A and B are shown apart, each in its own frame.
Chain A
Amino acid sequence: MLQGSRSWVFPTHPAILSTGVVGGPFEKKGNLASDFDQFYDDLWMGQDTYEKANRTLIEDAVQIALDKQSLQKSDVQFFLTGDLINQITPSSFAARTNGIPYFGLFGACSTSMEGLALSAFLVNYHGAQHVVTGASSHNSATERQFRYPTEYGGQKPPTAQWTVTGAGFAVIGEGKSVTAPAPRVTSATIGKVMDMGLKDPFNMGGAMAPAAADTIAGHFQDLGRDPSYYDLIITGDLAKIGRRTAVEMLKEKGYNFPDHQFKDCGLLIYGENQPVQSGASGPGCSATVLYGHLLNEMKKGTYKRILVVATGALLSPLTFQQGETIPCIAHAVSIEYM
Protein backbone atom coordinates (compact mmCIF):
# COMPACT_ATOMS: atom_id res chain seq x y z
CA MET A 1 0.00 0.00 0.00
CA LEU A 2 1.39 3.36 -1.01
CA GLN A 3 1.91 5.72 1.88
CA GLY A 4 3.16 9.23 1.41
CA SER A 5 4.87 9.93 -1.88
CA ARG A 6 7.18 6.95 -2.30
CA SER A 7 6.81 4.43 0.49
CA TRP A 8 5.10 1.10 0.71
CA VAL A 9 3.73 -0.47 3.85
CA PHE A 10 3.17 -4.19 3.89
CA PRO A 11 0.17 -5.02 6.09
CA THR A 12 0.71 -8.80 5.82
CA HIS A 13 4.30 -8.51 7.09
CA PRO A 14 6.17 -10.77 4.63
CA ALA A 15 8.78 -12.78 6.52
CA ILE A 16 12.42 -13.46 5.80
CA LEU A 17 12.25 -17.25 6.12
CA SER A 18 15.89 -18.13 5.67
CA THR A 19 19.14 -16.75 4.32
CA GLY A 20 22.33 -17.93 2.68
CA VAL A 21 25.52 -15.91 3.03
CA VAL A 22 28.76 -16.80 1.26
CA GLY A 23 32.06 -14.92 1.30
CA GLY A 24 35.62 -14.97 0.05
CA PRO A 25 39.01 -15.27 1.77
CA PHE A 26 39.23 -11.59 2.73
CA GLU A 27 35.79 -11.63 4.36
CA LYS A 28 36.81 -14.72 6.32
CA LYS A 29 39.45 -12.61 8.07
CA GLY A 30 36.91 -9.86 8.77
CA ASN A 31 34.87 -8.94 11.82
CA LEU A 32 31.69 -10.77 10.87
CA ALA A 33 33.14 -14.14 9.81
CA SER A 34 30.96 -16.04 12.28
CA ASP A 35 27.80 -14.73 10.56
CA PHE A 36 28.63 -16.28 7.18
CA ASP A 37 27.36 -19.73 6.18
CA GLN A 38 30.27 -20.58 3.92
CA PHE A 39 33.62 -19.25 2.74
CA TYR A 40 35.87 -19.82 -0.20
CA ASP A 41 39.58 -19.72 0.62
CA ASP A 42 40.47 -18.77 -2.93
CA LEU A 43 39.14 -15.89 -5.03
CA TRP A 44 38.74 -18.20 -8.04
CA MET A 45 36.27 -20.45 -6.20
CA GLY A 46 37.24 -23.38 -8.37
CA GLN A 47 36.33 -21.51 -11.56
CA ASP A 48 38.57 -20.27 -14.34
CA THR A 49 37.29 -16.67 -14.41
CA TYR A 50 36.34 -14.17 -11.70
CA GLU A 51 32.95 -13.65 -13.36
CA LYS A 52 32.19 -17.34 -13.01
CA ALA A 53 33.37 -17.11 -9.40
CA ASN A 54 30.80 -14.35 -8.83
CA ARG A 55 28.13 -16.65 -10.29
CA THR A 56 29.27 -19.48 -8.00
CA LEU A 57 28.78 -17.20 -4.98
CA ILE A 58 25.17 -16.55 -6.03
CA GLU A 59 24.39 -20.20 -6.76
CA ASP A 60 25.78 -21.33 -3.40
CA ALA A 61 24.05 -18.62 -1.36
CA VAL A 62 20.68 -19.36 -3.00
CA GLN A 63 21.09 -23.10 -2.43
CA ILE A 64 21.98 -22.60 1.23
CA ALA A 65 18.94 -20.37 1.78
CA LEU A 66 16.63 -22.91 0.11
CA ASP A 67 18.15 -25.87 1.98
CA LYS A 68 17.56 -24.23 5.36
CA GLN A 69 13.82 -24.20 4.62
CA SER A 70 13.90 -27.55 2.79
CA LEU A 71 12.45 -25.79 -0.22
CA GLN A 72 12.84 -26.96 -3.80
CA LYS A 73 13.62 -24.49 -6.56
CA SER A 74 10.16 -25.25 -7.96
CA ASP A 75 8.61 -23.95 -4.71
CA VAL A 76 9.96 -20.49 -5.47
CA GLN A 77 8.02 -18.32 -7.91
CA PHE A 78 10.51 -15.52 -8.52
CA PHE A 79 14.21 -14.76 -8.27
CA LEU A 80 15.19 -11.06 -8.00
CA THR A 81 18.82 -10.14 -8.03
CA GLY A 82 21.65 -8.17 -9.58
CA ASP A 83 25.37 -7.48 -9.39
CA LEU A 84 27.96 -5.04 -10.69
CA ILE A 85 29.30 -6.86 -13.72
CA ASN A 86 28.38 -5.64 -17.22
CA GLN A 87 24.83 -6.63 -18.17
CA ILE A 88 24.56 -8.38 -14.74
CA THR A 89 25.69 -11.66 -16.33
CA PRO A 90 26.64 -13.45 -13.07
CA SER A 91 23.06 -12.99 -11.83
CA SER A 92 21.40 -13.93 -15.11
CA PHE A 93 23.66 -16.96 -15.54
CA ALA A 94 22.89 -18.06 -11.98
CA ALA A 95 19.20 -17.71 -12.89
CA ARG A 96 19.87 -20.02 -15.83
CA THR A 97 21.27 -22.57 -13.36
CA ASN A 98 18.41 -22.49 -10.90
CA GLY A 99 15.62 -22.11 -13.44
CA ILE A 100 13.49 -19.85 -11.23
CA PRO A 101 11.54 -17.14 -13.13
CA TYR A 102 13.84 -14.16 -12.89
CA PHE A 103 13.85 -10.38 -12.63
CA GLY A 104 17.33 -8.98 -13.25
CA LEU A 105 17.90 -5.80 -11.26
CA PHE A 106 20.54 -3.15 -11.50
CA GLY A 107 20.83 -0.67 -8.69
CA ALA A 108 24.58 -1.00 -8.18
CA CYS A 109 25.15 -1.42 -4.45
CA SER A 110 21.50 -0.58 -3.68
CA THR A 111 20.36 -3.77 -5.45
CA SER A 112 19.99 -5.71 -2.19
CA MET A 113 17.22 -3.42 -0.87
CA GLU A 114 15.70 -2.82 -4.30
CA GLY A 115 15.24 -6.59 -4.49
CA LEU A 116 13.94 -6.93 -0.92
CA ALA A 117 11.40 -4.10 -1.34
CA LEU A 118 10.07 -5.57 -4.60
CA SER A 119 10.01 -9.10 -3.17
CA ALA A 120 8.05 -7.97 -0.13
CA PHE A 121 5.62 -6.17 -2.44
CA LEU A 122 5.15 -9.29 -4.57
CA VAL A 123 4.56 -11.53 -1.57
CA ASN A 124 2.37 -9.02 0.25
CA TYR A 125 -0.02 -8.77 -2.72
CA HIS A 126 -0.11 -12.52 -3.37
CA GLY A 127 2.03 -12.29 -6.45
CA ALA A 128 4.14 -15.09 -5.04
CA GLN A 129 4.38 -17.49 -2.10
CA HIS A 130 8.13 -17.57 -2.03
CA VAL A 131 10.62 -15.18 -3.58
CA VAL A 132 14.40 -15.47 -3.47
CA THR A 133 16.22 -12.15 -3.48
CA GLY A 134 19.69 -10.87 -2.72
CA ALA A 135 22.80 -9.37 -4.23
CA SER A 136 26.40 -10.26 -4.86
CA SER A 137 29.75 -8.83 -5.83
CA HIS A 138 33.26 -10.12 -6.43
CA ASN A 139 36.23 -7.91 -5.63
CA SER A 140 38.50 -8.90 -8.52
CA ALA A 141 35.76 -9.02 -11.15
CA THR A 142 34.67 -5.52 -10.12
CA GLU A 143 38.18 -4.10 -9.89
CA ARG A 144 39.05 -5.21 -13.37
CA GLN A 145 35.87 -3.76 -14.83
CA PHE A 146 35.72 -0.45 -13.01
CA ARG A 147 39.36 0.26 -12.22
CA TYR A 148 42.66 -1.35 -13.11
CA PRO A 149 43.89 -4.92 -13.48
CA THR A 150 44.01 -6.54 -10.04
CA GLU A 151 47.80 -6.85 -10.04
CA TYR A 152 48.38 -3.27 -11.22
CA GLY A 153 50.40 -1.29 -8.68
CA GLY A 154 48.35 1.88 -8.59
CA GLN A 155 47.98 3.70 -5.28
CA LYS A 156 44.47 4.03 -3.94
CA PRO A 157 43.57 7.21 -2.06
CA PRO A 158 42.24 7.02 1.52
CA THR A 159 38.73 7.76 0.19
CA ALA A 160 38.64 4.51 -1.82
CA GLN A 161 36.55 1.54 -0.75
CA TRP A 162 37.03 -2.21 -0.97
CA THR A 163 34.46 -4.21 -2.94
CA VAL A 164 33.16 -7.15 -0.92
CA THR A 165 33.49 -10.64 -2.34
CA GLY A 166 30.28 -12.22 -1.24
CA ALA A 167 26.65 -13.01 -1.82
CA GLY A 168 23.72 -12.72 0.55
CA PHE A 169 20.36 -14.19 -0.40
CA ALA A 170 17.06 -14.63 1.41
CA VAL A 171 13.82 -16.51 0.94
CA ILE A 172 10.86 -14.18 1.46
CA GLY A 173 7.58 -15.88 2.31
CA GLU A 174 4.04 -14.93 3.25
CA GLY A 175 3.66 -13.39 6.69
CA LYS A 176 0.99 -15.85 7.79
CA SER A 177 3.21 -18.84 6.93
CA VAL A 178 5.23 -18.29 10.12
CA THR A 179 3.56 -17.82 13.45
CA ALA A 180 6.74 -17.64 15.51
CA PRO A 181 8.66 -14.36 15.76
CA ALA A 182 10.70 -13.77 12.62
CA PRO A 183 12.32 -10.86 10.84
CA ARG A 184 9.54 -9.29 8.78
CA VAL A 185 9.56 -6.62 6.13
CA THR A 186 7.09 -3.95 7.21
CA SER A 187 7.73 -1.02 4.90
CA ALA A 188 10.02 0.30 2.21
CA THR A 189 10.93 3.67 0.75
CA ILE A 190 12.13 3.92 -2.82
CA GLY A 191 14.92 6.37 -3.55
CA LYS A 192 15.22 8.89 -6.30
CA VAL A 193 18.43 9.42 -8.23
CA MET A 194 20.48 12.21 -6.69
CA ASP A 195 23.53 13.85 -8.18
CA MET A 196 25.50 16.35 -6.14
CA GLY A 197 28.13 16.82 -8.79
CA LEU A 198 30.89 14.65 -7.39
CA LYS A 199 33.10 12.99 -9.99
CA ASP A 200 35.73 11.01 -8.13
CA PRO A 201 35.12 7.27 -8.58
CA PHE A 202 37.53 6.71 -5.69
CA ASN A 203 35.12 8.50 -3.35
CA MET A 204 31.81 6.69 -3.71
CA GLY A 205 30.74 7.22 -0.11
CA GLY A 206 30.95 10.98 -0.53
CA ALA A 207 28.87 10.79 -3.70
CA MET A 208 26.21 8.52 -2.21
CA ALA A 209 25.64 10.28 1.12
CA PRO A 210 22.99 12.75 -0.21
CA ALA A 211 20.94 9.89 -1.66
CA ALA A 212 20.98 8.08 1.68
CA ALA A 213 20.04 11.24 3.60
CA ASP A 214 17.21 11.99 1.16
CA THR A 215 15.72 8.48 1.34
CA ILE A 216 15.97 8.33 5.15
CA ALA A 217 14.28 11.73 5.52
CA GLY A 218 11.66 10.69 2.92
CA HIS A 219 10.97 7.50 4.88
CA PHE A 220 10.35 9.39 8.12
CA GLN A 221 8.09 11.92 6.37
CA ASP A 222 6.04 9.34 4.45
CA LEU A 223 5.46 7.12 7.46
CA GLY A 224 5.23 9.90 10.04
CA ARG A 225 8.04 8.36 12.05
CA ASP A 226 11.05 9.79 13.76
CA PRO A 227 14.47 8.19 14.40
CA SER A 228 13.38 6.86 17.80
CA TYR A 229 11.16 4.29 16.04
CA TYR A 230 14.26 2.32 15.04
CA ASP A 231 16.92 0.64 17.14
CA LEU A 232 19.30 0.94 14.24
CA ILE A 233 19.52 2.80 10.95
CA ILE A 234 22.12 1.06 8.84
CA THR A 235 23.38 2.27 5.48
CA GLY A 236 24.81 -0.02 2.83
CA ASP A 237 28.28 1.15 1.97
CA LEU A 238 28.80 4.83 2.76
CA ALA A 239 32.01 4.00 4.64
CA LYS A 240 33.80 6.58 6.79
CA ILE A 241 33.39 9.68 4.65
CA GLY A 242 29.87 9.04 3.41
CA ARG A 243 28.58 8.10 6.85
CA ARG A 244 29.91 11.28 8.47
CA THR A 245 28.49 13.37 5.64
CA ALA A 246 25.08 11.68 5.75
CA VAL A 247 24.82 12.11 9.53
CA GLU A 248 25.58 15.80 9.10
CA MET A 249 23.04 16.22 6.28
CA LEU A 250 20.34 14.54 8.37
CA LYS A 251 21.20 16.79 11.28
CA GLU A 252 20.54 19.77 9.00
CA LYS A 253 17.17 18.25 8.15
CA GLY A 254 16.42 17.96 11.86
CA TYR A 255 17.11 14.29 12.46
CA ASN A 256 19.72 13.55 15.10
CA PHE A 257 21.27 10.16 15.66
CA PRO A 258 23.58 8.97 18.41
CA ASP A 259 26.58 7.08 17.02
CA HIS A 260 25.35 3.63 18.01
CA GLN A 261 22.02 4.18 16.23
CA PHE A 262 23.45 5.03 12.82
CA LYS A 263 25.85 2.45 11.43
CA ASP A 264 27.18 1.45 8.05
CA CYS A 265 27.59 -2.09 6.67
CA GLY A 266 30.79 -0.98 4.96
CA LEU A 267 32.34 -0.19 8.33
CA LEU A 268 31.22 -3.39 10.08
CA ILE A 269 32.36 -6.18 7.79
CA TYR A 270 36.14 -5.79 7.93
CA GLY A 271 38.58 -5.48 10.82
CA GLU A 272 40.62 -2.42 11.71
CA ASN A 273 43.81 -4.04 10.46
CA GLN A 274 42.48 -4.86 6.99
CA PRO A 275 43.74 -2.42 4.33
CA VAL A 276 40.39 -1.28 2.95
CA GLN A 277 40.97 2.49 3.09
CA SER A 278 37.60 4.13 3.78
CA GLY A 279 35.59 0.92 4.17
CA ALA A 280 33.76 -1.75 2.20
CA SER A 281 31.40 -1.41 -0.76
CA GLY A 282 29.59 -3.48 -3.36
CA PRO A 283 26.11 -5.02 -3.62
CA GLY A 284 27.46 -7.96 -1.63
CA CYS A 285 28.31 -5.65 1.27
CA SER A 286 24.82 -4.75 2.47
CA ALA A 287 23.48 -8.17 1.38
CA THR A 288 25.96 -10.22 3.43
CA VAL A 289 25.85 -7.92 6.46
CA LEU A 290 22.03 -7.81 6.56
CA TYR A 291 21.29 -11.45 5.75
CA GLY A 292 24.09 -12.65 7.99
CA HIS A 293 25.09 -10.41 10.86
CA LEU A 294 22.06 -8.12 11.30
CA LEU A 295 19.39 -10.83 11.17
CA ASN A 296 21.42 -12.92 13.62
CA GLU A 297 21.57 -9.93 15.95
CA MET A 298 17.80 -9.47 15.62
CA LYS A 299 17.27 -13.10 16.53
CA LYS A 300 19.50 -12.60 19.58
CA GLY A 301 17.36 -9.63 20.55
CA THR A 302 19.95 -6.89 20.04
CA TYR A 303 17.67 -5.06 17.62
CA LYS A 304 13.90 -5.21 17.22
CA ARG A 305 13.41 -2.69 14.45
CA ILE A 306 16.00 -1.73 11.87
CA LEU A 307 15.97 0.42 8.77
CA VAL A 308 18.38 -0.83 6.11
CA VAL A 309 19.33 1.82 3.57
CA ALA A 310 21.36 0.36 0.70
CA THR A 311 23.15 2.99 -1.35
CA GLY A 312 24.27 2.68 -4.95
CA ALA A 313 26.50 4.73 -7.24
CA LEU A 314 25.04 4.45 -10.73
CA LEU A 315 28.19 5.11 -12.71
CA SER A 316 29.95 3.07 -15.35
CA PRO A 317 33.65 3.03 -16.32
CA LEU A 318 32.60 4.85 -19.48
CA THR A 319 30.70 7.69 -17.82
CA PHE A 320 33.48 8.70 -15.43
CA GLN A 321 36.07 8.62 -18.19
CA GLN A 322 33.79 10.91 -20.17
CA GLY A 323 33.83 13.31 -17.26
CA GLU A 324 30.26 12.78 -16.08
CA THR A 325 29.25 13.19 -12.47
CA ILE A 326 28.15 10.22 -10.36
CA PRO A 327 24.37 9.82 -9.90
CA CYS A 328 23.44 7.88 -6.80
CA ILE A 329 20.41 6.18 -5.28
CA ALA A 330 19.35 4.68 -1.96
CA HIS A 331 16.46 2.38 -1.06
CA ALA A 332 15.29 1.87 2.51
CA VAL A 333 13.57 -1.22 3.89
CA SER A 334 12.39 -1.55 7.45
CA ILE A 335 12.68 -4.94 9.07
CA GLU A 336 11.01 -5.72 12.38
CA TYR A 337 11.39 -8.81 14.50
CA MET A 338 7.90 -9.88 15.46
Chain B
Amino acid sequence: MGKSPKTPEQKKYEQLEKQYETKRPLLKNVLKAFFVGGFFCLIGQVITYIFIYFFNFTEQTAGNPTVATMVFISMLLTGFGVYDHIGQFAGAGSAVPVTGFGNSVISAAIEHKTEGYVLGVGGNIFKLAGSVIVFGVFSAFIVALIKTILIQLGVI
Protein backbone atom coordinates (compact mmCIF):
# COMPACT_ATOMS: atom_id res chain seq x y z
CA MET B 1 0.00 0.00 0.00
CA GLY B 2 2.49 2.61 -1.16
CA LYS B 3 4.75 2.27 1.85
CA SER B 4 7.99 2.90 -0.01
CA PRO B 5 10.54 4.67 2.20
CA LYS B 6 11.05 8.36 1.63
CA THR B 7 14.12 9.51 -0.25
CA PRO B 8 16.39 12.07 1.45
CA GLU B 9 15.17 14.63 -1.09
CA GLN B 10 11.55 13.97 -0.10
CA LYS B 11 12.37 14.26 3.60
CA LYS B 12 14.14 17.55 3.02
CA TYR B 13 11.19 18.88 1.07
CA GLU B 14 8.76 17.79 3.76
CA GLN B 15 10.69 19.86 6.29
CA LEU B 16 10.73 22.89 4.01
CA GLU B 17 7.02 22.62 3.24
CA LYS B 18 6.12 22.24 6.92
CA GLN B 19 7.52 25.71 7.61
CA TYR B 20 5.01 27.29 5.24
CA GLU B 21 2.04 25.13 6.07
CA THR B 22 -0.85 26.83 7.85
CA LYS B 23 -1.38 24.92 11.07
CA ARG B 24 -4.80 23.88 12.25
CA PRO B 25 -5.80 26.22 15.08
CA LEU B 26 -6.03 23.32 17.52
CA LEU B 27 -7.06 25.12 20.72
CA LYS B 28 -9.63 27.24 18.89
CA ASN B 29 -11.03 24.14 17.15
CA VAL B 30 -11.25 22.18 20.38
CA LEU B 31 -13.03 25.02 22.18
CA LYS B 32 -15.48 25.55 19.33
CA ALA B 33 -16.16 21.80 19.16
CA PHE B 34 -16.68 21.67 22.94
CA PHE B 35 -19.19 24.53 23.05
CA VAL B 36 -21.12 23.69 19.87
CA GLY B 37 -21.22 19.98 20.78
CA GLY B 38 -22.30 20.94 24.29
CA PHE B 39 -24.99 23.23 22.90
CA PHE B 40 -26.35 20.35 20.78
CA CYS B 41 -26.47 18.19 23.92
CA LEU B 42 -28.26 21.01 25.75
CA ILE B 43 -30.94 21.07 23.04
CA GLY B 44 -31.15 17.27 23.31
CA GLN B 45 -31.63 17.55 27.07
CA VAL B 46 -34.42 20.10 26.61
CA ILE B 47 -36.13 17.76 24.14
CA THR B 48 -35.77 14.87 26.61
CA TYR B 49 -37.52 16.92 29.29
CA ILE B 50 -40.25 17.90 26.83
CA PHE B 51 -40.85 14.21 26.15
CA ILE B 52 -40.89 13.42 29.87
CA TYR B 53 -43.10 16.31 31.02
CA PHE B 54 -45.51 16.66 28.10
CA PHE B 55 -45.64 13.10 26.77
CA ASN B 56 -45.87 9.72 28.35
CA PHE B 57 -42.10 8.98 28.59
CA THR B 58 -39.80 8.19 31.48
CA GLU B 59 -36.13 9.04 31.87
CA GLN B 60 -35.32 5.54 30.51
CA THR B 61 -37.62 5.65 27.49
CA ALA B 62 -37.19 9.30 26.46
CA GLY B 63 -33.77 8.58 24.87
CA ASN B 64 -35.01 7.05 21.62
CA PRO B 65 -37.54 9.74 20.64
CA THR B 66 -34.95 12.40 21.57
CA VAL B 67 -32.35 10.89 19.25
CA ALA B 68 -34.93 10.57 16.49
CA THR B 69 -35.93 14.22 16.91
CA MET B 70 -32.31 15.41 16.89
CA VAL B 71 -31.53 13.39 13.76
CA PHE B 72 -34.67 14.76 12.11
CA ILE B 73 -33.62 18.34 12.89
CA SER B 74 -30.11 17.74 11.54
CA MET B 75 -31.58 16.23 8.37
CA LEU B 76 -33.71 19.34 7.83
CA LEU B 77 -30.65 21.55 8.42
CA THR B 78 -28.69 19.44 5.91
CA GLY B 79 -31.44 19.68 3.33
CA PHE B 80 -31.58 23.46 3.69
CA GLY B 81 -27.81 23.64 3.25
CA VAL B 82 -27.02 24.88 6.77
CA TYR B 83 -25.36 21.91 8.43
CA ASP B 84 -22.17 21.94 6.33
CA HIS B 85 -21.55 25.53 7.42
CA ILE B 86 -22.07 24.57 11.07
CA GLY B 87 -19.65 21.69 10.41
CA GLN B 88 -16.92 23.94 9.03
CA PHE B 89 -17.22 26.12 12.14
CA ALA B 90 -17.66 23.45 14.79
CA GLY B 91 -15.70 20.46 13.44
CA ALA B 92 -16.02 17.51 15.76
CA GLY B 93 -18.63 19.45 17.76
CA SER B 94 -21.20 18.85 15.06
CA ALA B 95 -19.72 15.65 13.58
CA VAL B 96 -19.53 13.46 16.69
CA PRO B 97 -23.07 13.86 18.14
CA VAL B 98 -25.89 11.84 16.61
CA THR B 99 -26.81 14.87 14.48
CA GLY B 100 -23.57 14.31 12.58
CA PHE B 101 -24.74 10.80 11.77
CA GLY B 102 -28.00 12.22 10.40
CA ASN B 103 -26.05 14.71 8.33
CA SER B 104 -23.78 12.06 6.80
CA VAL B 105 -26.79 9.92 5.80
CA ILE B 106 -28.90 12.66 4.30
CA SER B 107 -26.02 14.45 2.57
CA ALA B 108 -25.08 11.20 0.79
CA ALA B 109 -28.73 10.63 -0.15
CA ILE B 110 -29.08 14.14 -1.62
CA GLU B 111 -25.76 13.83 -3.43
CA HIS B 112 -26.51 10.56 -5.18
CA LYS B 113 -30.12 11.28 -6.14
CA THR B 114 -28.87 12.04 -9.66
CA GLU B 115 -27.91 8.38 -10.11
CA GLY B 116 -31.47 7.20 -9.39
CA TYR B 117 -33.24 5.92 -6.30
CA VAL B 118 -31.94 2.34 -6.34
CA LEU B 119 -28.30 2.58 -7.41
CA GLY B 120 -27.88 6.19 -6.32
CA VAL B 121 -29.77 6.90 -3.10
CA GLY B 122 -30.14 3.28 -1.94
CA GLY B 123 -26.61 2.26 -2.81
CA ASN B 124 -24.88 5.31 -1.35
CA ILE B 125 -27.02 6.52 1.55
CA PHE B 126 -24.76 4.76 4.08
CA LYS B 127 -21.55 5.56 2.19
CA LEU B 128 -20.24 7.61 5.13
CA ALA B 129 -22.47 6.35 7.95
CA GLY B 130 -21.91 2.71 7.01
CA SER B 131 -18.59 2.46 8.80
CA VAL B 132 -20.14 4.06 11.91
CA ILE B 133 -22.78 1.31 11.92
CA VAL B 134 -20.31 -1.49 11.18
CA PHE B 135 -17.79 -0.55 13.85
CA GLY B 136 -20.49 0.57 16.30
CA VAL B 137 -22.24 -2.79 16.12
CA PHE B 138 -18.94 -4.65 16.16
CA SER B 139 -17.60 -2.87 19.25
CA ALA B 140 -20.97 -3.36 21.00
CA PHE B 141 -20.62 -7.08 20.22
CA ILE B 142 -17.10 -7.21 21.69
CA VAL B 143 -18.16 -5.36 24.85
CA ALA B 144 -21.18 -7.67 25.28
CA LEU B 145 -18.92 -10.69 24.75
CA ILE B 146 -16.49 -9.54 27.44
CA LYS B 147 -19.38 -8.89 29.82
CA THR B 148 -20.86 -12.35 29.15
CA ILE B 149 -17.50 -14.05 29.78
CA LEU B 150 -16.96 -12.09 33.00
CA ILE B 151 -20.46 -13.01 34.21
CA GLN B 152 -19.90 -16.70 33.37
CA LEU B 153 -16.61 -16.63 35.28
CA GLY B 154 -18.40 -15.12 38.25
CA VAL B 155 -16.21 -11.98 38.23
CA ILE B 156 -19.19 -9.64 38.06
Number of A-B contacts (CB under 8 A): 109
Set of chain B residues within 8 Å of A206, measured between Cβ atoms: 17, 20-21
Closest to B109 in A: A149
User: A309 to nearest B CB, angstroms?
Assistant: 18
Partner of A323, one of B3, B22, B92, B111: B3
User: A280 to nearest B CB, angstroms?
Assistant: 15
Set of chain A residues within 8 Å of B16, measured between Cβ atoms: 245, 248-249
Q: Which candidate, A153-161, A174-182, A226-234, is the interface stretch facing chain B?
A: A153-161
- A159 touching B21, Cβ below 8 Å: yes
User: B34 to nearest A CB, angstroms?
Assistant: 14
Set of chain A residues within 8 Å of B86, measured between Cβ atoms: 153
User: A86 to nearest B CB, angstroms?
Assistant: 13
- B20 touching A155, Cβ below 8 Å: no
Q: Given the complex of chains A and B, what is the CA–CA distance between A292 and B84 in angstroms? A: 31
- A149 touching B21, Cβ below 8 Å: no
Q: Given the complex of chains A and B, what is the CA–CA distance between A316 and B83 in angstroms? A: 27
**CB under 8 Å from chain A, chain B span 85-129:** 85-88, 90-92, 94-95, 100, 103-104, 106-108, 110-112, 114, 127-128
Which residue of B2, B25, B127 has the most chain A CB atoms within 10 A of its CB atom?
B2
- A210 touching B107, Cβ below 8 Å: no
Given contacts A153-B87, A153-B88, contact A197 B6 (CB under 8 A): yes
- A158 touching B1, Cβ below 8 Å: no
Q: Judge whether B9 is part of the interface by a CB distance below 8 angstroms.
A: yes
Q: Given the complex of chains A and B, what is the CA–CA distance between A134 and B83 in angstroms? A: 35
Q: Given the complex of chains A and B, what is the CA–CA distance between A142 and B131 in angstroms? A: 23
- B20 touching A241, Cβ below 8 Å: yes
Per DSSP, are chain A's interface residues mostly helix, strand or loop, or mixed? loop
- B128 touching A149, Cβ below 8 Å: yes
Q: Judge whether B78 is part of the interface by a CB distance below 8 angstroms.
A: yes
Set of chain B residues within 8 Å of A195, measured between Cβ atoms: 10
Q: Given the complex of chains A and B, what is the CA–CA distance between A275 and B24 in angstroms? A: 15
Set of chain A residues within 8 Å of B104, measured between Cβ atoms: 152
Q: Judge whether B53 is part of the interface by a CB distance below 8 angstroms.
A: no
Q: Judge whether B58 is part of the interface by a CB distance below 8 angstroms.
A: no
Q: Given the complex of chains A and B, what is the CA–CA distance between A249 and B94 in angstroms? A: 39
- B2 touching A278, Cβ below 8 Å: no
Q: Which range holds the interface residue count of chain B?
A: 35 or more
- A152 touching B88, Cβ below 8 Å: no
- B114 touching A49, Cβ below 8 Å: yes
- B17 touching A323, Cβ below 8 Å: no
Interface size on A, residues (CB 8 A): 38
Q: Judge whether A263 is part of the interface by a CB distance below 8 angstroms.
A: no
Closest to A248 in B: B16
- B13 touching A197, Cβ below 8 Å: yes
Set of chain A residues within 8 Å of B106, measured between Cβ atoms: 151
User: B89 to nearest A CB, angstroms?
Assistant: 8
Q: Given the complex of chains A and B, what is the CA–CA distance between A248 and B7 in angstroms? A: 20
- A158 touching B108, Cβ below 8 Å: no
Q: Given the complex of chains A and B, what is the CA–CA distance between A278 and B68 in angstroms? A: 37
Q: Given the complex of chains A and B, what is the CA–CA distance between A325 and B78 in angstroms? A: 33
- B83 touching A158, Cβ below 8 Å: no
Q: Judge whether A324 is part of the interface by a CB distance below 8 angstroms.
A: yes
User: A223 to nearest B CB, angstroms?
Assistant: 25
- B20 touching A244, Cβ below 8 Å: yes
User: B88 to nearest A CB, angstroms?
Assistant: 6
Closest to B77 in A: A153
- B23 touching A154, Cβ below 8 Å: no
Partner of B110, one of A151, A157, A248, A325: A151
Q: Given the complex of chains A and B, what is the CA–CA distance between A240 and B16 in angstroms? A: 14
Closest to A199 in B: B2
Partner of A245, one of B20, B107, B108: B20
User: A145 to nearest B CB, angstroms?
Assistant: 10
In the assembled complex, 22 residue pairs joining A and B whose CB atoms fall closer than 8 Å, in A order, are: A50-B114, A149-B127, A151-B78, A151-B83, A151-B106, A151-B111, A152-B103, A153-B100, A153-B103, A154-B84, A155-B87, A155-B88, A155-B95, A158-B23, A159-B22, A195-B10, A197-B11, A210-B13, A245-B20, A323-B1, A324-B1, A324-B2
Q: 10 smallest A-B Cβ distances: which pairs?
A: A153-B87, A197-B10, A149-B111, A155-B91, A151-B107, A149-B107, A324-B2, A158-B22, A244-B20, A196-B13
